[in-house]
Amino acid sequence: MWYTSIVYLLGGMFVGVEKVSSYDVLNAFFDEGSFMETDAYLKGDSGEAEAVTGYGTVDGVNVYAFAQNVDTCGGAMSKAQSKKITKLYDLALKTGAPVIGFYHSVGGRLEQKYELLSAYGDILRKSSKLSGIVPQISVVLGSCVGTSALIAAAADYIIMEKDATLSVDTVGENASAQDNLSNGNVSFICEGYEACVDKAKALLGYFPANNLEPAPAFESVPPYAEPDKLPKFFADEGSLLCVGGGYGEPVCTAFGRVNGYPVGIIVTKGGVISADSAKKMAKHVRFCDAFSLPLITIVDAEKFESLGDASKLISAYADATAPKIAVIAGTAVGAVYIALAGSTSGADLVYAMPDAVVSPIAPKAAAFILDSSIADAPVAEQDEKAMAYVKANLSAVKAAEDGYIDDIVDTESIRDRIVGAIEILLSKRVSTLPKKHSTKV
């Protein structure tokens, strides 16, 4: 039919993308022998289904998944495909299990017209309703453009094959994996479908099945033998998984395990927290809070770049009721301290490294304002006197003496402190006033 030529014209845009059977993908994803197909006999107008849906276990945990079948009408969306996928979402809602979608489609069955639009809308609505109830991961293995891209983006995290394309624009501009990583749409880029499947399985290992269950605890592993960054002093060796590298840097958002417990980690790395960094942090905070993952924030920054995005980040921290632990590793100045480690953030426990500084404004400026004798000293001596003032009056020890920091820790003691904090905070309960949602999103 005439629409078929359009489908394959679109498909020709994506040369270099590996075509793989949906059954091969799902069998690689699920534990051996555990995959059970749903709606196996449901067919579309062409006599075949454009997607395979089902459930099984991943490392022993129940999971739902669907995979578009590019070998059947190019995996094009249809009312039949929508019916299969929305049923899967309904089952996930009833049973509280994660949903993983594998995308490789050249578009939609245009001959279905309004039914096609309704099919897209049904999936988007179901996915949105599941947000925050069960984890959702999208894996883009080939072309995913137009409304299909919106559906993929409705998930919590997107994994993308390096040659795949993802764009709400059907022309496919700025659709490459690297483009999407740079603008924050995608969390991981992998080479080959097997690597994408492995990454999805690894990511699932940090999450609970749903928002009412605890995250899976693993056997404790000692920290990294050769730590080169602060999180490696307290995280179990081999457990750190950076999310969204390439966007919002130098801030790092990650998942890890501490004494076997899955946690979320945010690391600020000095200077200014950019607009993209604040967005990246806020998303991580909200995801960790939705699934009650303890959140560890490493604070070292002086200011925010964007007022609006800083406000949204502050709201994310303030709304979060999951366990929150802050570690001031460098400088925490003004609004940054308030947002990430102060009363506004609602941090349950705040620690600081011995050389940390807490100041209402830039430390050197604060020294000149609060001690007028510094400005009267010879210019050659002013910096030294300012630093001496900061060390004596704006240090972590001084903040601890005033009750704003719970303890001073070093690289040798930080793991014990964080392990103890997590264990006591796992039973945290917070009552909040009823409301639909925050308006700061």
Is the distance from CB of 81 to CB of 116 less than 8 angstroms?
no
- What are the pLDDT digits (tens) for 23-62? 999 999 999 999 999 988 887 666 677 789 999 999 999 9
Give the pLDDT confidence score for residue 202 in this predicted structure.
97
Whether 186 and 261 map to the same domain: the answer is no
pLDDT average, residue stretch 289-299: 97
The CATH number linked to 348 is 3.90.226.10
Ramachandran assignment for 395, one of left (phi > 0), alpha (psi -120 to 50 degrees), beta (any other): beta
Give the pLDDT confidence score for residue 440 in this predicted structure.
74
Q: Does 438 score more than 70 pLDDT? A: yes
- For residue 375, being part of any structural domain is answered with no
Give the pLDDT confidence score for residue 81 in this predicted structure.
78
Whether 246 and 197 map to the same domain: the answer is no
The SS3 call for residue 98 is coil
The SS3 call for residue 412 is coil
The residue behind tokens 């022998």 is 33
Give the pLDDT confidence score for residue 117 in this predicted structure.
72
Q: Does 120 score more than 60 pLDDT? A: yes
Residues whose CB is less than 8 angstroms from the CB of residue 141 and which lie 6 or more positions away in sequence, other chains included? 17, 18, 20, 25, 102, 103, 104, 161, 164, 193, 196
- What are the pLDDT digits (tens) for 363-373? 888 888 888 88
Please state, for a pLDDT cut of 70, what percent of the chain lies above it.
90
Beta pairing class for 136-140 and 99-103: parallel
**What is the dihedral sign for C-alpha 152, 155, 157, 159?**
negative
Whether 76 and 137 map to the same domain: the answer is yes
Residues whose CB is less than 8 angstroms from the CB of residue 393 and which lie 6 or more positions away in sequence, other chains included? 367, 370
Whether 162 and 239 map to the same domain: the answer is no
Half-sphere exposure of 218 (CA within 13 A, CB side): 21
Range(s) of the domain holding residue 63: 2-204
Give the pLDDT confidence score for residue 415 in this predicted structure.
97
Give the mean pLDDT of the chain: 88
Whether 7 and 119 map to the same domain: the answer is yes
Domains of the chain: total: 2
Q: Does 72 score more than 90 pLDDT? A: no
- What are the pLDDT digits (tens) for 177-228? 999 999 999 999 999 999 999 999 999 999 999 999 999 889 999 999 989 8
Q: pTM for this one?
A: 0.91
Whether 235 and 122 map to the same domain: the answer is no
Chain mean position to CA 277: 12
The mean-pLDDT minimum among 87-101, 121-135, 159-173, 264-278 falls in: 159-173
Whether 87 and 176 map to the same domain: the answer is yes
Q: Does 401 score more than 50 pLDDT? A: yes
Q: Does 11 score more than 70 pLDDT? A: no
Give the pLDDT confidence score for residue 63 in this predicted structure.
98
Q: Does 405 score more than 50 pLDDT? A: yes
- For residue 304, being part of any structural domain is answered with yes
Give the pLDDT confidence score for residue 13 in this predicted structure.
44
Please state, for a pLDDT cut of 90, what percent of the chain lies above it.
63
* Separation between Cα atoms, residue 333 and residue 317, nearest integer Å: 17
Whether 245 and 183 map to the same domain: the answer is no
Whether 158 and 239 map to the same domain: the answer is no
Name the pLDDT band for 7 (thresholds 50, 70, 90). Answer: very low
Among 84, 79, 87, 141, which Cα is nearest to 114's? Answer: 79
Helix ranges (DSSP H) in 154-274: 177-182, 193-204, 231-234
Give the pLDDT confidence score for residue 189 in this predicted structure.
97
Whether 7 and 142 map to the same domain: the answer is yes
Angle between helices 363-370 and 379-393 in degrees, nearest 10: 100
Q: How far is CA 294 from CA 333, 359, 393, 404, in A?
A: 24, 27, 32, 21
Whether 164 and 23 map to the same domain: the answer is yes
Give the pLDDT confidence score for residue 362 in this predicted structure.
87
Whether 151 and 38 map to the same domain: the answer is yes
Structure-token pair, residue 361: 């404004």
